[in-house]
Amino acid sequence: MKILNNMKSNLKDIAELISREFRTIATSYSILLVLIGGIFIYGLLYNYMYQPNVIRNAPVVVVDKSNSSLSREYTRLIDAAPQVTVHSNEVDFIAAKELMKRNEVVGIVYIPKDFDTRVKLGEESIFITYGVTEAFLYYSALQEASSGAMLELDGRHRADMVVFLPANDVQQIAQSSPITISGTILYNHTEGYGNYLIPPVLMVIIFQTLFMVIGMISGKERESRSIRLFAEKGTSLSRVSRIIISKTFVYCILYAVFCLFLLGLLPVIFDLPNLGNVYEIVMLLTPYLLSISFLGLSASIFFTDSETPILMIAFFSVGLVFLSGISYPLELMPWYWQAAHYVIPAAPGTLAFVKLNCMGASLADIQTEYITLWIQCGVYFILACLTYQYNIKKAIRSTDLIKNANHDYNN
């Protein structure tokens, strides 16, 4: 009977803590702004910026001031590139700018008057590209096409440039063998930038926004000393563990909805890779959200106000994608970066999600990342309990010191 009463008391306590955490989030405009802006606006905006995913035959205009056989050859090579197509040749740069303003072309390739002359003198020739910024990938396509055409042009006429080189350099070049590197990532057969980048970024968005929300709530509790109210029913580890469980439950419920939007709806809207099994993705997201929540609560010892988390976390996107092993092979990283990969949940979680959802892997194929996330859950849960116990006791001591100081002053 006593055990049953204790269970009822504990469940009632957890229910009260859950209700309190929901109220804290719902009544804080800054936290709601992070959630709405970070999840919905940032998720949609990031996908929109990298649309269309693969640029093909984007119209560009070539301003050929050189009007030489070499410049015309270069123009034909640009037109042959799959990324762009030459809309027209203009000798007037102002007219070309007008075409770009009217959205008839997405970029301009400017060939200077001395283009052919510099090459014949054995000097480095120059070309200039301009691109619109309505979609980031338009400029990338223009740069790839113009640079690729220049490399091809260089290869065709390099033999003619030998006369400008010292004899020793000519011998070394003649003896060297050419190297051709051609590769396509297996799970990105279209070589689309969005297909490659957006899925890991969505997982990073989940990590960043959840970590920021937890940090803002924890910082607000310490700043206002409202954290001491948790001590009304004691500061034992069992009581603190109920606090951690209650907070984590709220975060996971909220982010279950947000994950449905980010990882379920956005891939359908923007035609992103979506090969994963729903059950296996849910199995992955369970330890992922738990480990982030426990890590955020563990890190609350560093957050003394509600603004610090935004400054500390908002700019880590590139570093987190790097640590995941998506943009750079994990095996080639120094040992300390490899160690960091297993410390921050975003790294193994992102890598596992890409394997599941973009490469068609199964849970067995992400065994290492999956086990890592569950180990992080256990370790960070213990740290979160110890951290919150310390923060509560410290707030109580600070309040007592203030009361004693006021009492002595009044006396």
| Long-range contacts, 351-354 (Cβ 8 Å, 24+) | 351/324, 351/325, 351/326, 352/284, 353/199, 353/200, 353/203, 353/263, 353/276, 353/281, 353/284, 354/187, 354/199, 354/200, 354/324, 354/326
pLDDT at 6: 72
**Domain segments of the chain as ranges:** 2-49+190-410, 58-174
Angle at 74 between CA 70 and CA 78, to 5 degrees: 170
196 closest CA partner among 391, 54, 367, 407: 54
pLDDT at 396: 81
- The whole-angstrom separation of Cα 410 and Cα 141 is 74
231 closest CA partner among 377, 400, 382: 400
pLDDT at 356: 93
pLDDT at 176: 56
pLDDT at 50: 74
309 closest CA partner among 391, 219, 387: 219
pLDDT at 94: 87
Cis amide prior to 52 (ω within 30 degrees): yes
In the sheet with 58-64, reading across from the earlier edge strand, the strands are: 84-90, 58-64, 107-111, 128-131
pLDDT at 110: 92
pLDDT at 289: 97
Contact 363, 283 (CB under 8 A): yes
pLDDT at 304: 82
State the fold for domain 58-174: abc type-2 transporter like fold (3.40.1710)
Paired tokens of 351: 């890598």
| Residue-level pLDDT, tens digit, the chain, 411 residues | 666 767 787 788 888 889 999 999 998 888 888 888 888 888 888 787 777 677 888 899 999 988 888 888 999 999 998 889 998 886 688 888 888 888 889 899 999 988 888 877 777 788 888 888 766 678 878 888 888 888 888 777 766 666 556 666 555 555 555 555 555 556 776 667 778 888 999 999 999 999 999 999 988 888 887 887 787 777 788 889 999 999 999 999 999 999 999 999 998 888 888 888 999 999 999 999 999 999 999 998 888 888 777 776 667 778 888 899 888 888 888 999 999 999 999 999 999 999 999 888 999 999 999 999 999 999 999 999 999 898 888 878 776 555 555 555 455
Task: Reduce the secondary structure of the chain to three states and give it as a string.
Answer: CHHHHHHHHHHHHHHHHHHHHHHHHHCCHHHHHHHHHHHHHHHHHHHHHCCCCCCCCEEEEEEECCCCHHHHHHHHHHHHCCCEEEEEEECCHHHHHHHHHCCCCCEEEEECCCHHHHHHCCCCCCCEEEECCCCHHHHHHHHHHHHHHHHHHHHHHHHHHHHHCCHHHHHHHHHCCCCCCCCCCCCCCCCCHHHHHHHHHHHHHHHHHHHHHHHHHHHHHHHHCHHHHHHHHCCCHHHHHHHHHHHHHHHHHHHHHHHHHHHHHHHHHCCCCCCCCHHHHHHHHHHHHHHHHHHHHHHHHHCCCCCHHHHHHCCCHHHHHHHHCCCCCHHHCCHHHHHHHCCCCHHHHHHHHHHHHHCCCCHHHHHHHHHHHHHHHHHHHHHHHHHHHHHHHHHHHHHHHHHHHHHHHHC
**All residues at 6 or more sequence positions from 317 whose CB lies less than 8 Å from its CB, including other chains:** 201, 204, 208
pLDDT at 259: 94
Paired tokens of 105: 């072309």
